[in-house]
Structure 1
């Protein structure tokens, strides 16, 4: 469905083609660059990932009230997560990953095609949009970026909002979009337990939850033994945009030392805000770290696994 942004018509999803190497964005994208892509012959697939853990319907309602023109909504619980129990009934965490093919099928419903640029945004400092970014890379798709500054940056730059419901036309391109070789790898609780002390484990939760002072969401308070705390908002400047790559690189290298980036595992409460730290390391030129998707919600629910406080 066509829309307008400051008078510029945005082509329908069926007209999308893969971006050239010069226009591919694989980490963060500024508002100005997004506008240029929308006005080009290869408009991106825009994903609104707004969500509120305290009110799971809030993000969808906010999307209906106004979103970036042409944006589709992906719900954290329905679209970006899978069943909370495995085949044996074991708890997998509050937001476990879905099957790769299930997520790919959902993207195809939105008009996703091979190589198409994806841009995700939210209104929560990138914490939910970063989950979309990580999951696309998990599918092997590198043309995916988070709108730096999110909805706030878009509005501050004069960007309009739309209440139109975009319609995804069936993709005419062949072959259809399919999962490829993963660019990001998740880690299981079993693998992490076996590697405690051998990896740098970074917890993206707020300090009071990491220390175990409070725990509003999960089974027990505390953190995984050996983890260090880097609250995901530490990655941002005061205006809500990501810090410069060099600054982030210095901060993460100090945190990782003496281990390399490739021996880093990220976690949080349920595998969402941890993706923000993964994105920050990617932006800083420090690839190779992994996500423990079950995170504290899965770990703390298993009485056989150790925990720490303080």
Structure 2
């Protein structure tokens, strides 16, 4: 019986899983660049972990934008179920997500799988660089998908909160913003129409989850850092957000890996929040 990975998987562990026989894991490359939205797919076409599929943040991991629901709204569950089915993913499949940017886009897929009720989902710690360093096979071949039925409807393992519910609960939840400090403080805003942050939010830049080697810090180190940030609050009272609901998933993953289960995502995040001038904004 192969082990089930639900947060992070090391490159050596993935190699062992691939060599173990039985149903192979489905590996998905989610590399992306907000400034050049085609860069991730081009890089995947040039070289990727052998056998890995590619899912595009805008096309596959987001839904339609209407100007008021943020830059990367969640897709309809049925549409994402069809996407998973096209890759042959079933409730029994171990899925491994990776990217080349430290994990934020892979974490988006990890979180979305949990949102669909899928437990056996993990992020490759260190991404493609770690895979290469461990001697993992790399090629430029597009794998043949064994297309299956859409992923079945299951209860979500990842809770969400919408803008209205968050507005009503401000001051009664521990809100964590994953953006870089200068964006959080409102000093710069390269992507959204207004600068600043949601009142009461605390800043935890997602890259602070990583060590100098580009891999996640130890579970013990992450637990200590997040417990200090939570200030005694339970993880279940914690809401994560960022610019558009992507890098916040990195903080969610870090907390889950640290054993701090049950926190929540505000998927619309700042890009949705600031689209309504009636919602309050803080700076500094």
> Which TM class, normalised by the smaller chain length?
over 0.9
**1:189 alignment counterpart:** 163
**2:9 alignment counterpart:** 29
Change (3 A) 1:96 1:164: same
Match of 2:138 among 161, 165, 185: 161
Q: CA deviation at 1:107?
A: 0.8
Aligned residues: 283
**Matches of 1:298 and 1:114, distance apart in 2:** 31
1:83 and 2:64 matched: yes
**Matches of 2:89 and 2:221, distance apart in 1:** 34
**1:284 alignment counterpart:** 258
Of the two, which has the highest radius of gyration?
1
Q: Is the contact made by 2:9 and 2:122 (CA closer than 8 Å) also made in structure 1?
A: yes
Deviates more, 1:198-207 or 1:160-169: 160-169
**1:218 alignment counterpart:** 192
**Matches of 2:257 and 2:146, distance apart in 1:** 33
Match of 2:32 among 51, 55, 78: 51
Q: Deviations over 1:49-98 (max 9, x none)?
A: 0000000000110110011111110000010000112xxxx610000000
Return structure 1 stretches of 4+ with deviation > 4 angstroms: none
Q: Deviations over 1:220-250 (max 9, x none)?
A: 0100000000000111111011111111111
Q: What secondary structure is seen at the aligned counterpart in 1 of 2:138?
A: coil
Q: What secondary structure is seen at the aligned counterpart in 2 of 1:187?
A: coil
Match of 2:228 among 251, 254, 267: 254
Q: Is the contact made by 1:101 and 1:178 (CA closer than 8 Å) also made in structure 2?
A: no
Q: Is the contact made by 2:81 and 2:150 (CA closer than 8 Å) also made in structure 1?
A: no
Q: Is the contact made by 1:114 and 1:176 (CA closer than 8 Å) also made in structure 2?
A: no
1:67 and 2:48 matched: yes
**1:303 alignment counterpart:** 277
Deviates more, 1:38-47 or 1:122-131: 38-47
Match of 2:177 among 185, 203, 209: 203
RMSD of equivalent CA atoms: 1.1
Q: What secondary structure is seen at the aligned counterpart in 2 of 1:105?
A: helix
**Matches of 1:277 and 1:157, distance apart in 2:** 25
Q: What secondary structure is seen at the aligned counterpart in 2 of 1:186?
A: coil
**1:5 alignment counterpart:** none
**Matches of 1:179 and 1:45, distance apart in 2:** 20
**Matches of 1:93 and 1:100, distance apart in 2:** 17
Match of 1:130 among 71, 93, 107: 107
Q: What TM-score does the superposition give when structure 1 sets the normalisation length?
A: 0.89
Q: What TM-score does the superposition give when structure 2 sets the normalisation length?
A: 0.97
Match of 2:72 among 85, 90, 95: 95
Q: Is the contact made by 2:29 and 2:99 (CA closer than 8 Å) also made in structure 1?
A: yes
Q: CA deviation at 1:100?
A: 1.2
Q: CA deviation at 1:112?
A: 1.2
**1:11 alignment counterpart:** none
Q: Deviations over 1:262-286 (max 9, x none)?
A: 1000000000000000000000000
